[in-house]
Amino acid sequence: MSLSGQVIVITGASRGIGEACALELAAQGAAVVLTARNEAAVKELAKNIEAKGGKALGIAADVTDYQALESVLEQTLKGFGKVTGLINNAGIIEPIAFLDKADPSAWAQTIQINLIGAYNAIRVFLPQFMAQDQGLIINISSGAAFNPLEGWSAYCASKAGLAMLTRSVMLETQDKKIRAFGFGPGVVDTDMQGLIRASGINRVSQIPREHLGPASDVARAVAYLCTEDAADLVGELDIRHADLRQRVGLQAL
């Protein structure tokens, strides 16, 4: 695969799945714009990518701040002259708590980041994609979007909303050359899974760390979705998708 000529913005790029995607996309030739609240982390990651011969730009941005994302678009166009894709990866899992004990402000913050933050990014970048009649949006989804889990009401609700947002993008851009995906990465060995295990709530917290998938596999799948070859897969799918795994070269489940 080659992503040469593509310029892809990744939110939540400072660690975990976002970082893995940044490294994989850059290795395949894409210019990557890395955003997260942690400015030092995204700038360091961009520096490491450039040291390997890649093209990268690190920008501090909070997805709940619409104007900050407008600035990301402006800096992307200034730095690379175009933008071809957006990966909405920024997300949090907390509060992990039962409904009758969850902190209301923390619950609302999860919706603000996971759902409204994704909307903000889409709202900023979609007009650019519409104007150029070409673009890519990958929303990092979850099985929690379709199956409730104890203690995860905020996360499940936010991801369910994101799934419908993905479908809305597909509906409203069906006459444009814009590809939209809701991609579920499965259970991945990230800091978020560490929080889940520590909570001891619901069946996901009981999965041994050695049974979690590597973020690098997710990144390879996401990189494939960034290619035109994945156009027939638009919509909701996840890392277990047999055809996708075969195309990417991941071991069959």
CA atoms of 5 and 10, how far apart (whole Å): 16
DSSP 8-state class, residue 204 = G
Is pLDDT of 1 > 90? Answer: no
Is pLDDT of 238 > 70? Answer: yes
Q: What is the CATH number of domain 7-86+117-144+182-247?
A: 3.40.50.720
pLDDT tens, 152-193?
A: 999 999 999 999 999 999 999 999 999 999 999 999 999 999
pLDDT bracket for residue 253 (50, 70, 90):
confident
Please check whether residue 187 is in contact with residue 143, taking contact to mean a CB–CB distance below 8 angstroms: no
CA atoms of 253 and 240, how far apart (whole Å): 7
pLDDT tens, 36-83?
A: 999 999 999 999 999 999 999 999 999 999 999 999 999 999 999 999
CA atoms of 167 and 161, how far apart (whole Å): 10
Residues 6+ apart with CB under 8 A from 152: 93, 96, 144, 201, 202
Active site residues: 155
0.85 exceeded by pTM: yes
Mean per-residue pLDDT, 234-243: 96
pLDDT score, position 240: 96
Q: What is the dihedral of CA 225, 63, 168, 164, to 10 degrees?
A: 90
CA atoms within 13 A on the CB side of 97: 12
Give the DSSP H or E segment for 35. Answer: strand 31-36
The domain limits of the chain are 7-86+117-144+182-247
pLDDT tens, 93-141?
A: 999 999 999 999 999 999 999 999 999 999 999 999 999 999 999 999 9
DSSP-based helix, strand, coil % in the chain, nearest 5: 50, 15, 30
Mean per-residue pLDDT, 202-212: 94
Question: Which of 85, 87, 65, 72 shows the shortest CA–CA distance to 12?
Answer: 87
Residues 6+ apart with CB under 8 A from 101: none
